[in-house]
Amino acid sequence: MTFFSHLRKAAIATAFVLGATAVHAEEQYFPLQSYRVGPYAAGGTGFFGGFIDYLNLINIRDGGVNGAKLAWSEGETQYEVEKGVEVYERLKSNPGIAAWNPLSVGIAYAMIDRITDDKVPLITINHGRTDTTDGRVFPYVFPLLLNPYSETSGIVNYIASKEGGLDKLKGKNIVVLYHGSPYGKETIPIYELLSQKYGFELSQIEVPHPGNEQQAQWLTIRREHPDYVVLRGWGVMNPVALKTAQKTGFPADHIIGNVWSNSEEDVIPAGDAAKGYTAITTQASGERYPVVQEIVKTVYGDGKGNLEDKSRIGSVYHNLGIVNGILNVEAVRIAQAKFGNRTLTGDEVRWGFEHLKLDPARVEALGAKDLFHSINVSWDNHEGDGYVTFQQWDGKKWNVVSDWIAPDWKLLRPIIEKSSEAYAKEKGIKIRTAEDADAVVSN
């Protein structure tokens, strides 16, 4: 009897010690709603590959962020909202969640209410719901670097610079070919507005998801005789658009791709039809950046690289994943400086994102000079004023053909605020102040 009770005490004590050590190892967790199969697998594997590669780099090279190891696990969504929600429900009970990165507007929309209740940030880098830029109404949603309206403004400014100034846009004819999804439709009103402001003629044509048949749309475009076609595509829609454009005789160098039509996976399948095609980007492609080099050396050298096809290292989506990794990790680091080097709560990481300021010098220190420009997020501006650049495909690789261009944020902010305030009214949300943003839930 006494022997057994001793044994039990010993067992309990052991369990306690083991449990305590498990708690003691600081760990920050990233739930990944990734998609590696389906029509958008090229984007999913590249982006999540880059993201995981960067997290691995931090773990291997630095032993985590100030000692807090980075952890993650994946759930397959196939870019479908129902599956995204299922994965969210499955992964949300894991401890130490830093942020969600679904890389799908549809899934992000479905998660806004849920993550706001959980008080965990939702990152929609380069995409997302535009009015979530307004941190006063959406405390936990971050369309980092570039929201869809800024992207639109950047593209129109670029076309203007090619034509010789914004006043030269008058009378020009621009067609927007967009993906038939929430993501694709997001920019319809802003193109309308810019067309009125600058006096260019505009028609917007939808391509139903997934977009592998576009004959009718391109015949319409041929009838319209536009000066430029803006391709707001995604996945398989992009190469099909380029090939169909060639078939109907529209020149590739007058097609401007948006930020989700700018990857190698979009142009290589189109072959010659893509030569001369230009697209916007927030992060340059290529392997020459120190951070990418370190990933090749440390992570792939260690056999832990996430991309199966090593030729995709440094591709647009892979580099976007790396940039996304940098932004997430730096937000954690900034939050740690305030709250201590330990596993942070979602709300603390939110505070980190709201103070995510990386000037060009800091970007250089992170080994990402020229990979992306800078970011300057604040509690009410969740986009962070990202800069854009344009790259042209020469048949083999992307070449940067413009400087870093700033979108017209001043023009866009009132439209965004109007939309977010309407949302706040519809949902009965109290508009946040700077003091509210500083109140952080720490457990």
Partner 1 sequence: MAVQALDAARLPVDWAKLVQKLALATALFVVAYGVVPAYASGYLVEAILLPFLALSLAAVGLNLLTGYCGQLSLGSSAFMAVGAFGAYNFNLRVEGLPLAVTMILAGISAAGFGVVFGLPSLRLRGFYLAVSTLAAQFFVQWALTKFGWFSNDNPSGVISAPHLAVAGLSLDSATGRYLLSVTTVMVLTALVWRLVNSATGRNFIAVRDNETAARVIGVPVLRTKLLAFAISSFIIGIAGVLWAFTYLRTVEPAGFNLDRSFQILFIIIIGGLASIRGAFWVRRSSLSSRSFCPGSAHSCSAACSIRAFST
The reply on whether position 356 binds partner 1 by CB under 8 A is no
170, 415 contact by CB (below 8 A): no
What does the alpha-carbon distance between residue 257 and residue 249 come to, in Å, rounded to a whole number? 18
Q: How far is the CB of 92 from partner 1 (least distance, A)?
A: 8
Strand partners, 30: 72
Nearer to partner 1, 79 or 277 (CB): 79
Footprint of partner 1 on 156-185 (CB under 8 A): 180-183, 185
Q: How far is CA 248 from the centre of its chain?
A: 33
The reply on whether position 360 binds partner 1 by CB under 8 A is no
The reply on whether position 113 binds partner 1 by CB under 8 A is yes
The one-letter amino acid code at 23 reads V
Helix (H, G, I), strand (E, B) or coil at 323: helix
Footprint of partner 1 on 363-422 (CB under 8 A): 419
* CA-based nearest residue to 238, from 330, 147, 316: 316
By DSSP bridging, strand 278-281 and strand 201-208 are unpaired
Q: How far is the CB of 188 from partner 1 (least distance, A)?
A: 6
Q: Residues 192-203, buried b or exposed e (16+ Cβ, 10 A)?
A: ebbbeebebebe
Nearer to partner 1, 130 or 315 (CB): 130
Strand partners, 400: 391
Nearer to partner 1, 154 or 210 (CB): 210
The reply on whether position 152 binds partner 1 by CB under 8 A is no
Choose one: 15-23, 47-55, 81-89, 329-337; the region binding partner 1 (CB under 8 A). Answer: 81-89
Site string for partner 1, 207-246 (x = CB under 8 A): --x-------------------------------------
Q: What is the DSSP string of 139-177?
A: TTEE--S--HHHHHHHHHHHHHHHHTSGGGGTT-EEEEE
Nearer to partner 1, 76 or 265 (CB): 76
Out of 62, 89, 253, 359, which residue is the one contacting partner 1 (CB under 8 A)?
A: 89
Choose one: 106-114, 217-225, 335-343, 346-354; the region binding partner 1 (CB under 8 A). Answer: 106-114
Q: How far is the CB of 138 from partner 1 (least distance, A)?
A: 12
